[in-house]
Every structure is written in structure tokens, then in C-alpha cells.
Structure 1
Amino acid sequence: MAQICLNVIVSGRVQGVWFRKFTQEKAQAYGVSGWVRNLSDGRVQALLCGEEKNVRQVEAWMSQGPELSTVAELVSQSTPWQDYAEFLIEADAQSASD
């Protein structure tokens, strides 16, 4: 199976609605590693790494979000493989270009 990493940016009502915890739980359930964090502009950014089908499943879940969220847009882009042992909720970031 192919291993991939995706950089995912989600906009809409995605902060203060358990979006990061939701993403962490889905990633852990599918064996995906990486991280998720809030951005200062109100978006959420995640790095999803693992088996392609599992990463795509988490990406699909993120496009819906948890019950209290409203996802306006999800943009994902392939990025070079990064090896993480687990999936973490990171401290908030200043921007997606950090």
C-alpha cells in the first residue's frame, strides 16, 4: 500500500467546536499519524500521514467535521513523507505558512 502525507486546511466554523479533538480521534482510529492545530485566522490545519486509503478516509471525515462545526472549504495538498509516531494536537499557529 502507498504511504502518503497530506497538508489539509479547513475553513468555516471549525474552532471552538472540538474539531481538533474530532480529527485526532478519527486519525487514531484509522492509524494515521501527524498533527492538527488552529490557525490564527480561524482555520484549522492538519498533517495526515499513513496508508493512502486511511489518510483519504480521515480527509473525508474532516470535510464533514464534528456535529457543531460547519466546514466551508477543505483544501488538501500532497506533501513529502514525514514520519510521526502518533497523531498530536499541536499548539496554535500563526499562519499556514509557518
Structure 2
Amino acid sequence: MMCYTTTVSGTVQGVGFRQATRRQARWLGLVGHALNLADGRVEVRMCGRRDALAELESWLWQGPPAAQVTDVSPVVGDSEPAPDDFTTG
């Protein structure tokens, strides 16, 4: 299982982005989290199969209908243990 973190920029807070990301991630069988950052971005940590990770990263560029994504930046792969579920915060 691979894990890595991305940050998503644009109009991504207050538009249901984290909840939509959680639904999409769970549908793809991924675990991790989607968290609001103080600077207006959303951090998405995702863990799972490589193909599912690529599919979620592609989806992040669109997000839910009210979102306006301007950038999806991979931050870093990590070796932390994968969580049991996909959560928001």
C-alpha cells in the first residue's frame, strides 16, 4: 500500500470539497484524510493501490461542482502507517 499527501488550492473550502473527497476516496477503496489548512488549501493524504491513488489525484483537479481548483501539488510520499478509514477534519 502506497501513501502520499497532496495540497489542493483554489476555492476548496466551504464548498463541500472534503466531504466529496472522502466519498470519492472510499468509493475507490482508499484511506487517509482531507483537512482544511489555515491558508485556504485542503490537504489530502491518501493510501491505497497505485491506480486508485492516480484516479483520486485526477478527480481532485475537478472536485465537487462548487469547487474551483487551481492547483494540486504532491507534497511527499510517506512511510507512516495507513489509517483504517478516510476522514475529514
Normalised by the shorter chain, which TM-score bucket?
A: over 0.9
Please state if 1:28 is matched with 2:55: no
Secondary structure at 1:23's aligned position in 2? helix
Please state if 1:61 is matched with 2:59: yes
**Could you tell me the TM-score, scaled by structure 1's length?**
0.85
Corresponding pairs, count: 88
How far apart, CA to CA, are the structure 2 residues paired with 1:68 and 1:60?
A: 17
Sequence identity percentage:
33
> What pairs up with 1:7-46 in 2 under 5 angstroms?
7-46=5-44
How well do the aligned residues superpose, as a CA RMSD in angstroms? 1.0
> What pairs up with 1:57-96 in 2 under 5 angstroms?
57-76=55-74, 77-90=76-89
Unaligned 5+ segments in structure 2 are none
Contact 2:3 2:82 in 1 (8 A): no
Contact 2:11 2:67 in 1 (8 A): yes
**Could you tell me the TM-score, scaled by structure 2's length?**
0.93
